[in-house]
């Protein structure tokens, strides 16, 4: 299992791009941390998450 924003999800073996698509997130409005480090946007398609990884997906909303 992989922890995404505190929730256990069966996503080991998937790429960040696949997770974003499956969850229905807007890729232009987010930042992704994998085990405490930022995942560069250019690496979403090639970054594969492993068992016990901790992912934080920060989804920005408008207003300021």
Q: Which stretch binds another protein (CB under 8 A): 10-18, 22-30, 46-54?
A: 22-30
Q: Is 38 in the site for another protein (CB under 8 A)?
A: yes
Q: Does 24 bind another protein (CB under 8 A)?
A: no
What are residue 56's phi and psi, to 5 degrees?
Answer: -120, 115
> Which residues is 57 bridged to in the sheet?
32
CB of 55 to another protein, least distance (A): 12
Pair 58, 48: CB distance under 8 Å = no
Q: At residue 32, what are phi and psi to the nearest 5 degrees?
A: -120, 125
Query: What residues make contact with another protein under the rule CB under 8 A?
Result: 26, 28-31, 33, 36-38, 40-41, 56, 58-64
């Amino acid at each position: 299992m992989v922890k995404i924003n505190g929730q256990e999800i069966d996503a080991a073996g998937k790429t960040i791009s696949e997770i974003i698509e499956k969850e229905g997130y807007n890729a232009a409005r987010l930042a992704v941390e994998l085990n405490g480090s930022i995942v560069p946007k250019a690496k979403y398609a090639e970054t594969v998450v492993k068992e016990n990884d901790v992912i934080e997906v920060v989804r920005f909303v408008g207003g300021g």
